[in-house]
Amino acid sequence: MSGANITPASSGALIDGTPKTANGDQIPTEGAAATAPPPTKDINTYLRRSVHDLLSLKGRTIVITGGARGLGLAFAFAVAEVGGDVAIIDALDTPHEHFYTLEKDYGIKVKLYNIVADFGRIDGLVTAAGICPDEPFLQRAPESVAKCFAVNTLGTYYSAQLAAAQMVKQEPTDFNRKGGSIVFIASIAAHVASKGQTTSDYCSSKGAVVSLAKALGVELAGTGIRVNSISPGYMLTDMTLDLCNRMPWLADIMNNEPPMRRMGDRADLKTPIVYLLSDASAYHTSDDLLITGGIHAGRLM
């Protein structure tokens, strides 16, 4: 009905008691809507698919950028625990020691760098690669800003483009009928400034990632590809632990600023990432999940 020229009733728009547009097209009424054909999809599907089945990634290949350590490595374990194969892309020459236990512990395929050649397909992508330079805005050099956006924003953009191009040309399977799922790792810094840190380029680069997820979720919906982002709050990783050891005052902020009065653990992100990659989120796209301990809604210090 968008753009229809509806003639007022006083101009004779009611013909045989039925509202009409100026072109004579019938305007749907409440009664007409009630007689519309029922949806063709079986409304009882929810009775046959268990939560366990919906969250399974068995048979699917999930690509994780920045997956050799930190949050990316935690995501790799989460995928493996629900049966998914893991393909990791990372700039590290030597991954974290835990990386080597994935294949042995979970009986799934794990590869570093090689993807389609080793797995044959891509069913999901997680972009966890990123850098967070800390330097005052007025002192920031153009080269530093460009590098931050190259890794955090352009790296995310082109990783998604390559993965989506592979997803759209794949044949449907029993475990993935069409498309796939792309999950960008953004940050609470995309929503609020980081107290105690001067990370203007990081904040803006992650804000771009959140916007990109919303735009691509709409653009790619017709292909069956869903795109979402996760914005973690302060998370306890090897990197943040080292940072807090060097700057104890920053540890105080990260532990006491969130309403839940603690930093997040990588385990707090395992279920959300599986949810977004799996059929459990089949009707969920163009969204940003904030896993922040409440800091996005209000700070306690």
Which sequence positions are flagged as catalytic? 187, 202, 206
Measure CA 54 to chain center: 17
**Largest Cα–Cα distance of the chain, in whole Å?**
80
Q: From the CA atom positions of the chain, what is the Rg in Å?
A: 24
Residue 48, Cβ density class (10 Å: 0-12 exposed, 13-18 middle, ≥19 buried): exposed
Residue 142 CB coordination number (10 Å)? 7
**CA neighbor of 201 nearest in space, from 251, 130, 257:** 130
For residue 185, give the 3-state DSSP assignment.
Answer: strand
Please answer whether residues 109 and 60 qualify as being in contact, where contact means their C-beta atoms are separated by less than 8 angstroms. no
* Virtual torsion, Cα 49, 53, 59, 61, nearest 10 deg: 110
**CA neighbor of 278 nearest in space, from 47, 56, 87, 122:** 56
